[in-house]
Amino acid sequence: MYFEMRTYTIHPGMLSTYMKLFEDVGLPILEKYAQLVSYWFTDIGELNQVIHVWRYESLDQRTINRKKLYEDPDWKTKFLPDAMQMLEKQENKIMLAANFSPIK
């Protein structure tokens, strides 16, 4: 099992707008291609960040599903144009669960 942790830094003042767009538009599209494990936003520390974790059976599955997502017309027209204007930076990590991890 593979997990992808994505950390997005949102322009100050835009966090609630971004999260609403993601919940209403982005998430329903993304859920066709990946399984959401968790979604958080920062309250202390580096602010204006959302962190989400997605589960994939394999890196090949991730590659195939991300390609399908990038080709999805709803993703390209209904979510990305607005979302990209709110992003300041993005960081992605692929993570593997340790043997003793409660999430595997």
CA–CA separation, 36 vs 41, rounded Å? 15
Low-confidence ranges of the chain (pLDDT < 70): none
Regarding the domain delimited by 2-96, which CATH topology (the fold level of the hierarchy) does it fall under? Answer: Alpha-Beta Plaits (3.30.70)
CA–CA separation, 32 vs 17, rounded Å? 23
Residue 1's pLDDT is what?
86
Residue 35's pLDDT is what?
96
